[in-house]
Structures are given as C-alpha cells and as structure tokens.
Amino acid sequence: MNAPERRALPRWSEPSSAATEAAAQEQSQPSRLAAGGLIDRSRPLSFRFDGVTLRGYAGDTLASALLANGVTLVGRSFKYHRPRGVLSAGVEEPNALVELRSGARREPNTRATTIELFDGLVARSQNRFPSLRFDLGAVAGLFSPLLAAGFYYKTFMWPASFWERVYEPLIRRAAGLGRASNDPDPDRYERSHLFCDVLVIGAGPAGLMAALSAARSGARVVLLEEDRALGGRLLAETEQVGGLPAWAWAEQVGAELAAMPRVRVLTRTSAFALLDHGVVAALERVSDHLPEPPPFEPRQRFWTIVARSVVLATGAIERSVVFPGNDRPGVMLAGAVRSYLNRYAVLPGRSAVILAAADEALRTAQALERAGASVAAAIVPSAERSNPLAQALGRLGVRVVAGGAVVATSGWHRLRSVRLRDETGRAFSVEADLLAMGGGWNPSVQLACHLGHKPRWDDQAAAFVPATLPPRVHAAGAVRGAATTHAALAQGREAGLAAAERAGFSGALPELPAAEDAPRSVPPLFRMARGRGKAFVDFQHDVTDSDIALAYREGFRASEHVKRYTTHGMATDQGKSAGVAGLVLLAQLSGRSIAATGTTTARPPWTPVTIGAIAGPHRGKSFRPARLTPTHAWAEAHGAAFAEIGLWYRAQWYRRPGESGWRDSVDREVLTVRRAVGIADVSTLGKIEVVGPDAARLLDLVYANTMSTLRPGRIRYGLMLREDGFVLDDGTVARLAEDRFFLTTTTANAARVMQHLEFCHEVLRPELDVSLLSVTDAWAQLSVAGPKARALLTAVIDPGQALDDRALPHMGFAEARVGGVSARLYRLSFSGERAYEIGVPADHGEALMEKLVALGAPLGAAAYGTEAIAVLRIEKGHPAGAELNGQTTARDLGLDGLIAADKDCVGKALANRPALIDPERPCLVGLRPADGRTQLRAGAHLLRLGAKAQSQNDEGWITSACFSPTLGHPIALALLARGRERHGERVRVYDALRGGDTEAIVCPPVFYDPEGKQTRG
C-alpha cells in the first residue's frame, strides 16, 4: 500500500473514479483519505450507529469508521453528560463507549476504538436521553458544584428513611453507562491451557524481536498481541524498519514466526494478569469481530499460560493534558491522530492545534499536512523554543507558541475554536476542529505490578518505569522507557535471548534491522493555567482538577486515597491515559516530587474481562460435575425426583401415576417399608477398604468404640470423633477377614473421612502396616428393608448361602452370589425394620435393582428414596447429618457410652473439656406437637413456656422433623438444654423465620419400636 498522498478536496465528479460504488463510498465517508492506510478498500462494509447507516472498510475499527463518516459526537459523559468524542485509538479510550449488538448479545461499554468493524454491525451511544445530540442529562452540568467528588458523602442525609427508599434507587438508576442484556448468553466460551518456554507479551518492535530471538534458539515460544495485526505502534507511524515500511517488516517477521513449528502467535489476545509461578492469564477475542461465532467456535477463550520466562513488551500509552475544555469532541491524543491518518486513512479534523513536545508535534503536523489538513498553531514546552524540531514546525507554516498554554476551548457538539495564551500572557483565539494533545508516554507497566512490584518515577523519561521485576520476567522497549524504535528493537532481541537462556536454551542474537533513532524531547508535564471551563483529569468519571484540589483540601494526601475519594482512575480505562496527570496535580498541591507521591497499585485485569470467559464451559448444570449412582437411569425412568446432595444426584422419592404431591409418594414408601419391603439405592455412602495386619489398630485409633474385638463376619456401628472432641462422622465397620475391614461413612463426609484416615495413618501412625482405598464407586449398594426383606433376599440370592438368622444374624456379614456375580451381604438397619444391604460391583447395580423390583412385586415391594429414608430414621431417632453437624458431641447425642474406656482414640481427651460435658449443653430429645397435628420444622427454636422470644431464652432447636405416616402425626428430633431430664415437659416451639409459634411435648428420641424388636426379626 502507498503512503497517504496529499489529499485533494472531495470532488465526486472526478472522472478517474473507478465505479459508482467507490464514488458513493467516498461521498458517504467525507473524512476518508483517497488513498493509503492499512484498510482493505476492496471490502466495503456497512454498519449502523444510533440508527443511521454508515459505511466503512474491512480493517476499520468502529471509531475510525465513525470518524471517516464525519461522526465526531459518540457519547455523553458519566456525571455531567457532556458531549464526548473519540479521544484515542486503543484500549485506553475513556469516551467512545458504545452499546454493541442487540438482543441476548447486547453488550454495554465497549470501546469503539477496539471494536473491529464487521458488516451489519449495530452500535448505539449510551448515557443519553432522549438522544445523543439533545440529552436532558446535560442539566446535571448546571449542578456541578453540588456534584463534586465525594458529594454523596455529604448529601442525601435527610430524611434518613429516604436513603433506602428514594435516594439510593435514584442514584443506582443514574449510575452506570450502558445496559447489559438480561437474556442468557447464546455463545460458547472456552478455557484452555498453554505451556511454553518463553512468553512474549506484545508484538510491537520489541516484542517481535524478542519472539524472533527466543524462537531461533529452539525454545517453545508464545507471542501475544492485543490487536488483530502484529506491529504495535509501527502500524500507526510512517517510518521504515529494515528498509521496509514498518508495517511490512512486522508482517514479514510474523510470517517467519508463523512458519516455525514451536512458535504460537495469538492475535486479538490480551494478557490481563500476571500471576504467581510464571502463570499469565490471557483473553482471546476469537469471534468478537464477527457477527456471530462460526458453528462450534467460542466467542472468547480464556488462556491460562504457564511460561518459564516472560518478556513484557507491552509498549506505552500517551498521556492526556489537563487544560480547560479538554474534553470536547475533537480533542484527541496526538499519537491517536497519527493512527487515524496513517493506519486508517481518516482525517480527524481539517484545522488543528497541537499541544505536545516538539518531536511529537512535528510528526503530527507533518502527518496532518500530508493529508491535506492545516495546522493553525502548535504549543511546545518553553524549553524547546530553540529546538531545531520546533524550527522545522515553523517552516511548515505552523505558528509555534513555545511556553504557551490553552486557556479555553469552545464548541458544544464539536470543537470550534481554541483560546491560547503565549508566554507573555497575550491571549488569542484560533479556529480549529481538532486539538491534538500529547502529554508524554506512560509505559504500560501494569502487568509487571500485579505481583506487588511498584514502578519508580524516572525523571529523565518523565514516566513510571519498572523498578524491580518479578522473577523470570524481562521487560523490553517502550515499557522500559525506550524512546526510539531502534532502542525497542535492540532491547527486544536481548530480552528474548535472555528469556530463552533462562529457560535452558541458547542461541545467537538476530541481526538488528535499521530503524529510526532520532533524539527525543523530554515529554512535557504541562502546567496549564486556570482558565474558563472544566479541566478534566479523568474523562470517564468526569473528575476535574478542582476535584483533585478538593480532595487535597479535605485532607487526603496518599495517591490511593485521592483515587478512591475522587474516583479518578477507577473507570473501565483504569487511568491508562489520565492517571499520571492526576498524580502530577497531587504532587504540585502537596509540594512533593512525583517520585515521592508515588502511584496507585495496579491490579488485574488489564482490560475488562467478561464473566462468560472466566466461566468457560462451566455454566448452568456444568458448573460442577454430577455424580450419578449405578441406578440413576432406572430411577429416572421410574418417576424419581432428584436431590443434589453435594455432587451426587439421589432419588428423593419415586412418583407413581396418580400421586399429586411428594407427601403421597413418601408416605406410601415409608409404609411399604414398615409393612412389606422397600428397596433403596444407598451407593452414595462412602465406602473404604482398610487392609493389612495393622488395620484393626488403626481403626481403634480413629473410632471411639473398639473395632479390634469385632469378629470376622460381623458388623459394628462406628462413631468417629474429631481431634477437638466433636463428632466427625458415623457409619458401620464390617470385618471381612482378620486383616480386612470394610467401612461405610455418611455421603457428605466420605472424602473428609478418607482424608482423616490417611492423615491418621501417614502422620500419626506411619509405622502401621495398613493400606486404605476409597471404593465408593466400586460397589452398587442397595438396601432391602421391611418385614418381608428376607423373603425377597431369598428370591434374589443364588442358592448356596443360607439366610436364616443363625447364618446371617443382625449385624452380620456374608458373601453370596446374585445372578452369578459375587455380592456382599450386610445385615444392618437404618430404618428399624429387618434390613439387608446387598453390594455388587457397580456395573451390575442397575440389573440388580430391576431384579429386586421384579421379584419383589408379589411381595408388595417398592423402591424408596432419601425422603422416606429420613422419615424412617427419624421415627427411630438415629442421628444423621442434621445432628452430626460438627457442633455436637457424642454426649449430646446420647452416644457417649460408645467411647471405649480402655483405649485412646482421636478426640477422646478434648471430648472431656468442661464446656463439652456441661450439663446445660443441648442434648438429643424427641418432640411431638402438643395438639397432635401442627407441623414442626427443623430450625425452629425451643423456649420455656411463657419465656419471651429472645436469644437469651433460647434453650435449643429442632434438628430434624417430618410427618410420620407410621404414627399418623408430626414428629421431630431436637437438641434441648438438659433434655434428658425434661421428658414429658411442654416447650414453646418458636420459628421466627417462617412465622411459627406452637407447643410441643418433649419425649425420648425414639418414636417407633423402642426395644428394636423389628430389626432382630
């Protein structure tokens, strides 16, 4: 492509126009230069902004296309609703925030300067009503003295009740800029991992050389670039590198890197966080530049990159300048003006004033003149009056005002004139529709600071540069303060090789291509005089220099405090272009140097990251994995409603046709177990094999009761305590052989108990010869419970194993076969009826369930779920999760008799602490409603009759409650202070949360078959 030519005034009767379409394009883009730029004029695009159809080209951003169409008003500021235009050409944009797309994909606050234009793009301006040109919100500007920084700390005080009902909702509605969509996001997002030896962040001149250096040494290299094309600042200037136009050199290096098999180049990818251990988080905008993601492609991808070394080549961002009226549409960063001219072939204005250091001013003036604009005046620092660059400016026909200042600007929807003052104090106005300001360049050091390394102020560079770097991180180029392309290239190739060497590779430095190396001016830190109009420091949050002064007057000195009080630097641009200006003001006010004032802490993310990308595929049900039991499919097919218990899906009940509510199903299932036989899937309970000559000794340590005396073929209930004396879990222990035990735990504590056992073995008793293995998923475990349980079992078990009470007594274990498959039989009961559990290898669980249900049909058998299990065990008073909540002791639950007197165990000593044996502690009781029918609810509190409902009168609470179909009335288990002495007493049951207040009678915590005759049969 050619360099931009001197542009003639638009004449669309030019006979040399190729096609009507091209002419129409030119006519519709009045500010597009006739030739040049890195856009693709063979691919015209059409888009809509605020309902108006406009034209652009492939390669445009939304901002460049808007400017090409002469659209300079793009938004309204946050607080004062001032008209705003495009300030920059990159991620630092604070003004041109638009709402993009529509429907479920609508996204607010996107920067028009980074949105790649695509055909059919729809965008709307934000924060204005009824329209961008005429916004009622601008009236807020009249109240600006009342809306200064921190105004909400001093206003909206009275009346106090109004805050919650009136003020806060109003402020909330006024806050924010754009509207998010409330619809579910239709796009996919991905997460992925990438490993490499050298990660280079930034593909400008420094980054490209670093990548080349490292790649040629044979290292695995990943190069990240935020833009869609490689080159960084080279794409915005008209210089030459290695004898080629800079952008062409960048392309050439990109091609070489793309051809290397161990190199990965990711464009449209921002590194947004530097984390510990060489981990970098990056966001790839895979499909943001397309109307829709292609089938199966994600919208965005979150990369977790692990690198042995990192090279930061993140470049620098230009600073804005603080002067009155610096926020009007048409005031832009000087470097951005050159980007629009050189890269996008767009003329941002026809008559310009420049406010920058001499070298920056000269480059900008030359670019403008080449494009056919005129430069009315250029303000350079006083010290550069005799600088040859300033003189070159003069020779271009520009009026050079050394040591001058801007005192005001005018123009509401667009800049119209600039009022200047020269060093002698003489003021004069200049007509201009563009003001290009350049306050120097800020190295983008943020990533280097994420791990707590603060940058230092360098007076020579007049910028914050990296001071110390995290281990294995190198910096190269403008981010280190390098001022010329040549310096960036040189630093880049050295950093790349150093990074590769740190990762264990060696190589040679690649050749250094020729590049510009002109001496640079010291960037100015303009101290603009006070003039007419607001001088903005932070554009996005409407923070002015008087806000900074106000914060200082109110006693804030630290930069962090001033930031938070004024909200300067807290918007989506995070002070990228304006941060230092605020610090300079604070330094001036407090009489300190900038180095002493310091800068605020930079934290991730570098640019905003969508929540969708962080979630990746873990959305909706995929938020966490689901654990399914072996009979899950069978349960689904038979009317099961599932409860999520941790990760498990367990059938709560099995609804039969005709049953309308869950109580119908649960009551039926409970009665089936009490009268016939029920079958339940209890596979989710933790199962652990403990094997070895010292297995019994380990179990004696972890259980409160004694397991070493358990005979093979027998089962014992086991109570496990925590080290601090509270109950950890309960379950059963079956001794399969002299050196082999099979433990069960509650579902919720399976992993915790396994960890506890491993800790006790590895740390407390490493000398024991014992192995532990979690086998929860190895076995499908089905409970067969009810008076007819033995009949069903006999039908199911293969002949060869006797099932009478002598061969298999209560709490006995036997091995058997079912359908030729080896099975384990346990006789134990949680329901209080005669019950067995059958364990078969998990793959056979579903077939076993089918077989049991089929063979049980003539016996009246039915499957039962977790709700029925709960009712049955509450009727029997067995503690479960609600009672074993980590705050109860064995004594509370009436199980202290299980703690063996003649041996030590985990938790034994601390279980005898005075607070844990205090007779006032709530202990387990049963409750029945005094009126025989009012429902009792778990969580309700217990009070003495007549006591006031206050927490100091609280005497306990209900842990588990249900309706008992067996007894025909509600029952509950509760913890009540001195409960054992209070059987027969009436207590008040107070449920403030759900509005319940009733009376109940305390009774022993077992409602059905207290002597346990049913289990023994």
Partner 1 sequence: MAEVLLEARSPLAALLQSGRAGRADGPAGVRLRERRPIGSAALLLRSGGRERLAAALRADFGLELPVTPRRSARASLSLVWSGPRQWLAFEDRSEACPGRSFVAGLARAVGDAATVIELSGARALFDIEGPETETVLSRIVPVDLDSSVFGNDAVALTLAGHVGVALWRRGSAAAFTLACSRSFAASLAEALIEAALCVGCEVLDPV
- Both structure tokens of 826: 């346990």
CB 621 to partner 1: min, Å: 9
Ranges within 672-711 binding partner 1 (CB under 8 A): 689, 691-692
- Tell whether residue 427 is a contact of partner 1 (CB under 8 A): no
Ranges within 750-779 binding partner 1 (CB under 8 A): 769, 771-773, 775-778
Binding partner 1 (rule: CB under 8 A), the pick from 514, 522, 643, 842 is 842
* Cβ nearer to partner 1, comparing 103 with 800: 800
Q: At what angle do helices 579-590 and 559-566 cross, to 10 degrees?
A: 120
User: How many residues form the binding site for partner 1 (CB under 8 A)?
Assistant: 52
* Cβ nearer to partner 1, comparing 385 with 619: 619
Q: How far apart are CA 934 and CA 880, in angstroms?
A: 24
- Both structure tokens of 110: 């996107």
Checking DSSP bridges between strand 821-826 and strand 813-818, what pairing results, if any?
Answer: antiparallel
Binding partner 1 (rule: CB under 8 A), the pick from 601, 622, 755, 885 is 622
* Cβ nearer to partner 1, comparing 636 with 931: 636
* Cβ nearer to partner 1, comparing 233 with 632: 632
Binding partner 1 (rule: CB under 8 A), the pick from 626, 854, 909, 949 is 626
Q: How far apart are CA 981 and CA 1003, in angstroms?
A: 10
Contacting residues for 802 by C-beta, under 8 A, at least 6 apart: 808
- For the window 282-301, what string marks contact with partner 1 as x by the rule CB under 8 A? -------------xxxx---
* Cβ nearer to partner 1, comparing 142 with 737: 737
- Tell whether residue 219 is a contact of partner 1 (CB under 8 A): no
- Tell whether residue 648 is a contact of partner 1 (CB under 8 A): yes
Q: How far apart are CA 943 and CA 926, in angstroms?
A: 15
Contact 896, 922 (CB under 8 A): no
258: number of CA atoms within 13 Å, CB side?
A: 10
Residue 1006: which region, alpha, beta or left (left: phi > 0; alpha: psi -120 to 50)? beta
Binding partner 1 (rule: CB under 8 A), the pick from 423, 798, 981, 997 is 798
CB 169 to partner 1: min, Å: 39
Binding partner 1 (rule: CB under 8 A), the pick from 347, 405, 818, 890 is 818
CB 862 to partner 1: min, Å: 21
**Per-position DSSP letters for 93-159, written without gaps between them:** -SS-EEEES-GGG-EEEEETTTPBP-TTEEEEE-S-SB-SSSBGGGGGGGGGGGGSTTHHHHSS-SS
Cis? peptide before 159, omega within 30° of 0: yes
Binding partner 1 (rule: CB under 8 A), the pick from 471, 617, 897, 1012 is 617
Ranges within 957-976 binding partner 1 (CB under 8 A): none
- Both structure tokens of 259: 């051809």
Q: How far apart are CA 896 and CA 900, in angstroms?
A: 9
Checking DSSP bridges between strand 969-977 and strand 956-964, what pairing results, if any?
Answer: antiparallel
- Tell whether residue 502 is a contact of partner 1 (CB under 8 A): no
Binding partner 1 (rule: CB under 8 A), the pick from 103, 159, 425, 625 is 625
The identity of residue 689, as a single letter, is E
Checking DSSP bridges between strand 969-977 and strand 922-929, what pairing results, if any?
Answer: antiparallel
* Cβ nearer to partner 1, comparing 132 with 263: 263
* Cβ nearer to partner 1, comparing 511 with 769: 769
Q: How far apart are CA 323 and CA 336, in angstroms?
A: 19
* Cβ nearer to partner 1, comparing 19 with 637: 637
| Spatial CA neighbour of 873 closest among 746, 1006, 1002 | 1006
* Cβ nearer to partner 1, comparing 220 with 873: 220
* Cβ nearer to partner 1, comparing 517 with 798: 798
Binding partner 1 (rule: CB under 8 A), the pick from 60, 225, 573, 846 is 846
- Both structure tokens of 713: 């073929």
428's enclosing H/E stretch is: strand 427-431
* Cβ nearer to partner 1, comparing 841 with 1004: 841
Q: Per CB under 8 A, which region of 86-94, 444-452, 542-550, 618-626 contacts partner 1? A: 618-626
CB 202 to partner 1: min, Å: 23
Beta bridge partners of 825: 814, 838
* Cβ nearer to partner 1, comparing 190 with 659: 190
CB-based burial, 82-99: b 16+ in 10 Å, e otherwise: bbbbbbbbbbbbbbbbbb
Q: How far is Cα of residue 138 from the mean position of the Cα atoms in its chain?
A: 35
Binding partner 1 (rule: CB under 8 A), the pick from 450, 844, 873, 878 is 844
CB 637 to partner 1: min, Å: 11
CB 431 to partner 1: min, Å: 55
Binding partner 1 (rule: CB under 8 A), the pick from 392, 396, 427, 628 is 628
Footprint on this chain of partner 1 (rule: CB under 8 A): 190-195, 220, 295-298, 304, 306, 617-618, 622, 624-630, 632-633, 648, 689, 691-692, 769, 771-773, 775-778, 798, 817-821, 840-844, 846-848, 851
